[in-house]
Amino acid sequence: MELTVIWFIAISVLWTGYFVLEGFDFGVGTLMSFMGGRDSVDRRVALNSIGPVWDANEVWLITALGATFAAFPAWYASLLSGFYAPMFLILVALILRGVAFEYRGKRDSAPWRAWWDRAILLGSVLPAFLWGVVFANIVRGVAMDADQVVTASVPDLLNPYALLGGLTTLSLFTLHGAVFLTLKTDGPVRVRARRAALWAACAAVPSGTLFLAWTQLAHGGGTRTLPLVLIAATALVGGVAAAWHRREGWSFAFTAVTVLTVFAALFGSLFPNVLPSTTDPAFGLTVSNASSAEYTLTLMSWVAVVFLPLVLLYQGWSYWVFRRRVTGETVTGATVTRGEDRDGRPEPAV
């Protein structure tokens, strides 16, 4: 197998791993404001469920972008220039979200925390939607000239297929995050998260099904991607059914498989292209004309063989260390009366 193909697969794995892990982070951030009252311990419970892992999950994004730059520099250049507006908004949202995570608890003030909660919501919803828009356009293709410069405008990127892709990733990540909360928390947050998962499924199932069908029919790789599409649809339904029956571990496994196979199907539909051209297929980028020199790919392969297992072992260890459920007692260090917030005010009934 050629190194260009191996690195296309490797980059696909890195991007897919990022969305599986960061997907539930986005979902938790989207739902956090709905997990309790304005000054609620329950919001802190939701936030603490991803506190030890959210920044480690973002390392997958840095690695995926770095690998894309090193292995396929022309692809990287086209992505960051042709998709400048959505990529810039994603970057700003991720920065805002990270700052909000760190600064939310710096002052004991309900208005202070409320503003940062809004920042977490915006910093989670915006990337969850825009990543779907970006990757749908990558699979669909964009207008490019003979010099392989993307000429598509922002309105061109907001086509119906891409908007459906954004709705699919937003609803799917919200479902994934809600299921994660049922698995990682206890008490009122767990109850609310289970309810949120069932509501998120009302959007994720129809949008995901339509998006997968559209992808397979219009842009799919035939028999190469059909099994992945079927697995994704089956896992999505299975995750919702498991959530309904309160099988939280199975539900999270199913939603993780759904995210994994959706993006695997997108990359499978894309290959051997990396960015098709809707102007003229000859203007598009492929694994052959967008790749680095063989020496660069060989050196990268040896670096990956040495360091990637270490990174995976460390991240797996961190998840194992922080595997316990988060409750109000664990975040306050004291017994919290169920149905009351930190200041003793009654919370809305669950």
Mean pLDDT of 72-84: 89
**What is the structure's pLDDT at 39?**
57
**What is the structure's pLDDT at 336?**
42
pLDDT tens-digit readout, 6-48: 999 999 999 999 999 999 999 999 998 888 765 578 888 888 8
> Which residues are CB-contacts of 325 (< 8 A; sequence separation ≥ 6)?
184, 185, 186
CB-based contact 96:119 (threshold 8 Å): yes
Inform me whether the pLDDT recorded for 331 exceeds 90.
no
**What is the structure's pLDDT at 54?**
87
Inform me whether the pLDDT recorded for 221 exceeds 80.
no
What is the spatial distance between Cα 26 and Cα 170, in angstroms, rounded to a whole number? 8
Compute the CA torsion angle 15, 16, 22, 23 (nearest 10 deg). Answer: 130
Inform me whether the pLDDT recorded for 209 exceeds 90.
yes
pLDDT tens-digit readout, 85-138: 999 999 999 999 999 988 888 888 888 888 999 999 999 999 999 999 999 999
**Inter-CA distances, 214 with 162, 261, 268, 329, Å:** 11, 15, 14, 47
Query: Where does the pLDDT of residue 329 fall: very low under 50, low under 70, confident under 90, or very high at 90 and above?
Result: confident
> What six digits make up the tokens of 88?
């810039």
**What is the structure's pLDDT at 23?**
93
Domains observed in the chain = 3-320 (1.20.1630)
**Inter-CA distances, 268 with 72, 75, 298, Å:** 17, 16, 23
Q: pLDDT exceeding 70 applies to what percent of the chain?
A: 94
pLDDT tens-digit readout, 137-151: 999 999 998 888 888
**What is the structure's pLDDT at 262?**
95
More confident residue, 5 or 307: 5
